[in-house]
Amino acid sequence: MDKEKISIKNIENLKKDLDLDKRAFLRRNAKNLKGPGKIALLAFFITKAQNQSVSSNKIENEWNNVKSILGKYNPAYLTRAREYGFLKKDDTKKKYYKLTNSWLEKLIHKYPNWTK
């Protein structure tokens, strides 16, 4: 199966999981991901798969609410998520970020053992 088909399947499965509460969603989907990947997945959940921006404070607060699942928050995760191409800065708002259009493909490439 090629990467495009894997990505489509993954995004469809992730969208189905948005009906779960945050803890269940992350417990099911954050396995085998490191901090930057978890940041991207959390941003996906917060925005409910819409092309919306989310503040760094919101990401940190949401992370801290589920740190028993995700581990301790490190601000460097946000920087690395941008470096890996999962997130981009929202040019209209300071300290706000959006998922890139190809975040999922880049996530799969960075973490090949993570598949949904």
CA 38, CA 26: separation in Å to the nearest integer? 8
Report the pLDDT value the prediction gives residue 8, as an integer from 0 to 100.
Answer: 59
- Residues of the chain under the 50 pLDDT cut: 1-5
Report the pLDDT value the prediction gives residue 9, as an integer from 0 to 100.
Answer: 65
Quote the strand ranges of the chain, DSSP E.
54-55, 87-89, 96-99
CA 70, CA 35: separation in Å to the nearest integer? 8
CA 22, CA 46: separation in Å to the nearest integer? 9
Report the pLDDT value the prediction gives residue 107, as an integer from 0 to 100.
Answer: 86
- The full set of domain ranges for the chain reads 3-110
Please give the CATH number for the structural domain made up of 3-110: 1.10.10
CA 2, CA 28: separation in Å to the nearest integer? 24
* SS3 category, 54: strand
